[in-house]
């Protein structure tokens, strides 16, 4: 340890098994030594050893002994972005090793990050996300946790399977029961397509606005602002134009309903409606059937 204080680069050296001193300390559960290493260099958490595994990946495999995982994520939260040579992150490893406690801590940290969805839906080389693996191993509690945290249930692996496809193929009844409420055939696909359409139209509608904002000339910007800038300097008047006179709660109550109405209105005005069908297979029934049309013509 004294040698590493004198020459910190020693802490990054890998042994013949391609493990750093921190890898070994984590594997053997030496908490005090682990924390002393991190005092020297917090980025030791991200040193990659055999198969691209970091010390965080080791903890995700062996378990959160003595709260080391919490400490790791507190010191270096970005370490959760690291992946192995198989492109798997800590979530994959926790699920594969049935570490529910580890998965809970990882997700709790992820919820505070901008890269939340990116890590939650990270695909390995085989295209499997953590959700796919939870179904493979028939782990309903992990499955519930991942679904509650917006893991993409429509994501497909290289075989083209979604989570429900895997559960049904391997007859994992517990997983099927959990997924049943999320996957109603037809409705699930429609919901997915609807979400994509909304995102598409909102992006299309907002892009010209942002384009104009970015490319606005200095003269036009000054005309829009008027003399508000000069008035606001050194002024304590909270009602000056350009300043918020609503508290956060009032603003949200005002903003959210209007934004929802805008999205729905814009979507309905742009989407092309097809005839609505109900039922399955060859038993589809048109909302407006031909018989109704014929009867209306006869009555006329």
CA distance 175 to 160: 18
Work out the burial of residue 26: count CB atoms within 10 Å of its CB; fewer than 13 is exposed, 13-18 middle, 19 or more buried: buried
Which tens digits make up the pLDDT trace of 217-232? 666 666 656 655 554 4
> CB burial class (10 A; 0-12, 13-18, 19+) of residue 148?
exposed
- Give the pLDDT confidence of 90-148 residue by residue, as tens digits: 999 999 999 999 999 999 999 888 898 999 999 999 999 999 999 999 999 999 999 99
Q: pLDDT by residue (tens digit) across 168-206? A: 999 999 999 999 866 544 444 555 556 556 666 666 666
Q: In the predicted model, what is the mean pLDDT of residues 46-64?
A: 96
- Sketch out the chain's domains with CATH numbers: 2-183 (1.25.40.20), 189-227+244-294 (no CATH)
The HSE-up count of residue 163 (CA atoms within 13 Å, CB side) is 35
Q: What gap in Å lies between CA 196 and CA 190, rounded to an integer? A: 10
pLDDT, position 247: 64
Q: What is the mean pLDDT of the chain?
A: 78
Residue 255 banded pLDDT, cuts 50, 70, 90: confident
> Which of 136-145, 209-218, 246-255 is most confident?
136-145
% pLDDT > 70, the chain: 62
pLDDT exceeds cutoff 80 at 249: no
> Which CA distances in Å does 271 have to 71, 121, 200, 202, 268?
49, 29, 11, 12, 6
Q: What local confidence, expressed as pLDDT, does residue 174 receive?
A: 92
């Amino acid at each position: 340890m004294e040698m590493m204080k004198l020459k910190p680069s020693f802490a990054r050296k890998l042994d013949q098994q391609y493990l750093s001193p921190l890898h070994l300390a984590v594997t053997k559960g030496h908490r005090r030594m682990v924390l002393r290493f991190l005092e020297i260099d917090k980025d030791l958490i991200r040193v990659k050893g055999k198969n691209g595994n970091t010390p965080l990946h080791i903890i995700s495999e062996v378990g959160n002994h003595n709260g080391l995982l919490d400490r790791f994520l507190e010191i270096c939260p970005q370490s959760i972005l690291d992946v192995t040579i198989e492109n798997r992150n800590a979530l994959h490893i926790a699920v594969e090793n049935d570490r529910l406690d580890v998965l809970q801590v990882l997700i709790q940290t992820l919820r505070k990050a901008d890269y939340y969805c990116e890590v939650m839906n990270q695909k390995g080389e085989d295209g499997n996300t953590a959700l796919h693996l939870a179904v493979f191993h028939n782990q309903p509690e992990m499955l519930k946790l991942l679904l509650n945290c917006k893991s993409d249930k429509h994501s497909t692996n290289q075989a083209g399977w979604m989570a429900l496809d895997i559960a049904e193929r391997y007859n994992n009844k517990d997983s099927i029961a959990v997924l049943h409420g999320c996957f109603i055939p037809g409705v699930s696909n429609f919901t997915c397509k609807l979400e994509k359409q909304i995102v598409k139209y909102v992006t299309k509608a907002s892009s010209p606005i942002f384009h104009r904002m970015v490319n606005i000339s200095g003269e036009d910007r000054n005309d829009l602002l008027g003399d508000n800038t000069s008035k606001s300097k050194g002024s304590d008047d909270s009602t000056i134009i350009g300043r918020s006179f609503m508290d956060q709660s009032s603003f949200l109550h005002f903003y959210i309903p209007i934004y929802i109405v805008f999205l729905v209105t814009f979507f309905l005005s742009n989407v092309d409606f097809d005839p609505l069908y109900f039922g399955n297979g060859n038993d589809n029934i048109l909302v407006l059937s031909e018989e109704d049309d014929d009867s209306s013509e006869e009555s006329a």
